[in-house]
Structure 1
């Protein structure tokens, strides 16, 4: 069992909604912060604490700042993640969880905006809100050593739900991870929050708060050249050619090879068509033309 180290209460946070006495968690030495969005405009009740994080950040629009409510000590396991029995440890591993009041869902954002409901749409959060999150992360870095780093992929909701952009960590990667991530990155979980929050800007602000130098920029990886679309005539009944094999291999690589019993080959068949159709259905640009036969756009999206 881990021993708690460092300060356990975020300075200035309220304990008006303290749940640790009713739901005692496990002590742990934190090296990860997980960011959530509440998908509601006010401080949640969390079922009396049964599904609460360590802290919740509530926007104060009049003062243009975040008000923090602490529900558990920083290094006591909270309860806002899916944690399957006998599976990967999530809540109880090494994680301080933070809920950001507001939404990451564009549909919810439009609905609230139309209804005149004041709220934060976190992908377009105001500077004062991003600054508030950054100050918390800089405190976690300084007091608990949580690295100011995290995943590069923060896809927009709803594509972030499930594992639409392959952003979710495997069990082994999660067990080795330290830094800051979103609910969308945690294994055993399906939620897509906090969506396309400006993670790069938040880390930049957190580092500036501590007068830390920015890490050296990594050279952008070169993108593989997209092969030219050979033409529709190569993908139809009776077609036998290398383009069919190349297509099939790419479908398998992208996770759309479920209909192959053995594997892709040079002969076009129904399995190829069904796999292409599944890929087309997964892309909003192609859903209106998901007939299973590749065209220039299907080809470009599949190989990009």
Structure 2
């Protein structure tokens, strides 16, 4: 039933995935190859309902449902409301419905519309921020400025829907590492999302970024430099609201988890310890 490839956030590992769209509505970020093989499509409501019925016949219970692909929130509000209503009708035991929402798709929705989606069962929106630095955002072709990311994040927070955001360590390369880390930390501070995931840049061959790396236009950070950048991001996050912090993706050199601001200094100490131990190992290797 799925149109592959299929992606979902790590936290949705045990969720039923319902593919209400195909691909990503933006699909222009220079580092991403996830949906390049797909033309963005919103499935007809009739087809979506049919698939929901099929899943009901297969699964006896589904308490968590994730709506794929890359930007299900872009679906027109009336259709999205019907999808949520039908899910609750067919899966009355469902306690959590989540989806990816691009900054633009969030901005297209009004506060009242988002509040209505929450009332109908939408629990959380996953939004990729990548960076808080405008030059980096422009370079990676994110399609929005940091001010728009801020407005989108604050709109979700105001609606009462939980907000989970991701940023990418190393996405600014060597040239913008300081600006990227400082401005990303400041943007996270101003949004104060419920969840923050830090990924490390992974190089995909079939991307524009890969071409820039091959030509020498973009300089990739080393593992040590990525850790220092994550530390700098943490040092620039100042928020009173609780943020669940995770840096435990497969792309990360060092696995980190905690709550901000409570655990910020401990997380920084863990990075410092890793940097110190790595320096020692490197020195031993050089001596050998």
TM-score (norm 2): 0.28
TM-score (norm 1): 0.26
Between Structure 1 and Structure 2, the one with more helix by share is 2
Between Structure 1 and Structure 2, the one with more strand by share is 2
Query: Which has the greater radius of gyration?
Result: 1
